[in-house]
Structures are given as structure tokens and as C-alpha cells.
Structure 1
């Protein structure tokens, strides 16, 4: 029975190749998006006094978090393509969800600290 389930679960080679190509294309598209976002953030910084250092930190962290989370998602998708059976799919999913929950908790805490610091800096009287 276990062998029959494994045989039915197997992803055809053509479909696996197509899925891997799609994951790779998504990864490259995301990298181009990040480059564009970083260039835009850089141009905003050059506009002068209207962009505060706090906004720069928040933007940089948001981009870093987006990159980290997207990479984790793409890695997860790729690992699913190589899963041998349903048990492995379930294990990979559980590990991914747990890791993302830890990452999001950490990211929310760090972002809260950065926003608080930026708000305090903005509230300081100009000398």
C-alpha cells in the first residue's frame, strides 16, 4: 500500500522541470524587484531633508524582511518539488510555518523598535 501511495504521489519529470523553471523565474523576478526597490529608496534618500533617517531605516528593514521572507518562500516551494511522499510534504510544511512564525515575530519586534526610535527622533525639537 505504501509503495502504491508513493507511486501515485510522484510528480512527473516534465511537471517538476516546469515547476522548477517557474520557481527560478520567480526568484529572478523578485531579485529584479529588489534592485528596483533599492534604487528607488536610494533616490528618495537623495531628495534631501524631507526624508528622515528613521524613514531610511524603516524602508531598509522592510526591504530586507521582504527579501528574507520571499527567499524562504521560494526555498520552501523548491523543497516541495523534491518531496518523496506526503509525509515529507507535511514535515516540510510544518518546518516552514514554524520558521516563518519565528521570523515574523522577530521582524515585528525589530520593526516596532525602529518605528519607536524614528518617532522619538521626529518628536525632538529642532535646534
Structure 2
């Protein structure tokens, strides 16, 4: 399964799960053995990354560390208020995933950004 990640509508990475120690299916199966899972349950896997750096990243911190190793300094900034990140797990490159898209925007705590969130 591939993870497609975009940041402010631009490609950030599409790492695949083949190099993970435990597949997404194994993580879900283990979680289901130890607790009741219901519709809408979110299961985190940690960073999904691959040895091939051209695949991109699923985590800003990971991307910054790779830049520090390769270039001596990070060039990717951290997220700012108003930034949006979208993630989707897919079985095939051009097919929708089984879980849908997770799409989130960074808001300042206590702010009313309802008027700007869909821009």
C-alpha cells in the first residue's frame, strides 16, 4: 500500500509500506486483538519511509533530517498557520484508497477560521 502525501496541494511524498517492519494490515490486526475498533478509528503507524529518497517523505521532521545529512542544513520549513496537509493510503497508484483522504489545515488555537478553511 502506498501513502500519498501533499502539502498545500503540492506533492510531498508517496512512500510505500513494503519496507515497513509491520504492514498496515498487521498493525490493524494487532490493534483489533487488543481493543475494540469501530468505524472512524484512527491507527497511527509512525513515519512511513523508504530507502529510495526520490519517493519523498511522509513526515516533515524526517525530510529535514535527510536534508541535514545530505546538505548540512534543512531547507524544508515547518508548517505555518493556514498550511494544509492531505494523506491517502492507496492499494494502486491511480485508484482511490480504502480509507479516504485525511485532509487537515493548521489553525491558530482559539481562532475562527471557518471563512477561510476551504480556500
TM > 0.5: no
- TM-score w.r.t. the length of structure 1 is 0.23
If each structure's strand is expressed as a fraction of its own residues, which one has the higher value? 2
Instruction: Flag the structure with more relative contact order, 1 or 2, with Cα contacts below 8 A and sequence separation at least 6.
Output: 1
Q: Which has the higher helix share?
A: 1
Give TM-score scaled by structure 2 length. 0.24
> Greater CA radius of gyration, 1 or 2?
1
